Amino acid sequence: MGVSIKEVAARAGVSVGTVSNVLNRPDMVKAETVEKVHAAIDELGYVPNSAAQQLREGQSRSIGLVALDINNPFFTDVARGAERAAALGRHTVLLANSGESIEREISNIEMFERQRVRGVLVSPLSEDLSRLRDVRKRGIPVVLVDRGTEDTSFPSVAVDDVAGGELAARHLLEGGRRRLAFVGGPMRIRQIIDRYRGAAAAVAAVDEATITSIETEALSLDEGMRVGGELRALVARGEIDAVFAANDLLAIGVQQGLLGGDDPVAIPGDVALVGYDDISFAAAAVVPITSVRQPRELIGETAVALLEEVRESESEPRHVVFEPELVVRSSSAPAPTA
């Protein structure tokens, strides 16, 4: 065990209460004593034990953020926003990675509950929120991040993914595209479903336009490349003239798949491409990728703000929905008017 407050007190010739006061309310203590105590702290290399503080205070100073997949730059940006907002209230953000696995999501949430965090920010994988309701019942506030609001009893921050999907598809249609492919999955993830539904609605409004859904196993670069490679033949045969990928990781992979091999197709000549999230790699791709931007850091900041709101008052939980924004780049230039 390290040095405790008791040893500091002995060394400085004061009581433990005084040491604690020096640390937490220095103005209550005579300047001279403050100095003596600080000297003792330095000599001994005292570092407070946060487990003891927390046990005493009944609450941790940390906020738990359960990310779907930490390898997706989208989430590290959300985390950064949350960190910034948390720092304002002298809180800390603990990041846990679910790696798109429901079991890990559950065990991460439980870990946070054992730690008695101030609250949990989570973009749940599963449709079943009963576990989160239990967590809340036990006194730990929960905020839904990047998630629709079927259950309006939780505060939530989200982006209108249906609108985002529409935005993407409408843009492709306006560019003269008619045979769309949607690439994304697994289809149990709410956000992915919404993006598809939005796109499908836009397509339904235009005569002769069609959309095919190609489900992927993960939202990863590799899956995108695989699908992109398979799409080459369809594009060459004219069966597909536009691809809407459910996120940018996929979109970048799809682009590589389309441009690769011995029979590459042209972007945007043969096929247009739109992604989602607007991560920095999207703008840096060979053919810069048009993408639906989400206000990533703002989502994180807002989630923390909603958490504090719900902690402070018993008022109705708020539901913040941001509007997505289309960032047009060269990957989706209009079809040649052939």
Partner DNA sequence: TTGAAAGCGCTAACAC
Partner DNA sequence: GTGTTAGCGCTTTCAA
CB contact at 8 A, 78 and 66? no
Q: Which residues bind DNA (CB under 7 A)?
A: 1-2, 4-6, 13-21, 23-24, 28-30, 32-33, 46, 48-49, 52-53, 55-58
Q: Determine if residue 273 is left, alpha or beta; phi over 0 gives left, psi from -120 to 50 gives alpha, anything else beta.
A: beta
CB 91, min distance to DNA, A: 16
Tokens representing residue 327 in the block = 């960032």
Look up residue 189 and give its two tokens. 């993830």
17 binds, among DNA, a second copy, none (CB under 5 to 8 A by kind): DNA
Nearer of residues 15 and 152 to DNA, judged by Cβ? 15
Nearest CA among 282, 272, 203, 212 for reference residue 250: 282
Residue 227 CB, shortest distance to a second copy, in Å, is 13
Sorted by sequence, the CB contacts under 8 Å of residue 103 that are 6+ apart come out as none
Instruction: Compute the least distance from the CB of residue 274 to a second copy, in Å.
Output: 18
Structure tokens at 176: 């003269």
Q: How far is the CB of 57 from a second copy (least distance, A)?
A: 9
The alpha-carbon radius of gyration of the chain (Å, integer) is 26
Closer CB to DNA, 21 or 247, in the complex: 21
Interface residues with a second copy (CB under 8 A) are: 1-3, 45, 47-52, 54-55, 58, 60, 70-71, 73, 76, 79, 83, 92, 94-95, 97, 110-111, 113-116, 134, 137-140, 221-222, 225, 252-253, 256, 259, 280-281, 284-287
Residue 76 contact, options DNA, a second copy, none, Cβ 5-8 Å cut-off depending on partner type = a second copy
Determine the residue type at 272.
A
226 vs 318 by CB, closer to a second copy: 226
What does 87 bind: a second copy, DNA, none (CB cut-off 5 to 8 Å by kind)?
none
Least distance (Å) between residue 323 CB and a second copy: 26
Give min distance, CB of 235 to a second copy, in A: 18
User: Could you say which of a second copy, DNA, none residue 43 binds, taking C-beta under 5 to 8 angstroms by partner kind?
Assistant: none
| Identity of the residue, 10 or 70, whose beta carbon is nearer to DNA in the bound complex | 10
* Closest separation in Å from C-beta 85 to a second copy: 15
Return d(Cα 13, Cα 247) in angstroms, integer.
62
Closest by alpha carbon to 320, among 81, 94, 131? 81
Give the residue with the Cβ less far from DNA, 38 or 226. Answer: 38
Which of a second copy, DNA, none does 213 bind, CB closer than 5 to 8 A by kind?
none
What is the largest distance, in Å, between two alpha-carbon atoms of the chain?
A: 90
> Beta-strand (E) ranges in 50-168?
62-67, 92-97, 120-122, 142-145, 156-159
CA dihedral 48, 52, 57, 63 (to 10 degrees): 80
SS3 at position 289: coil
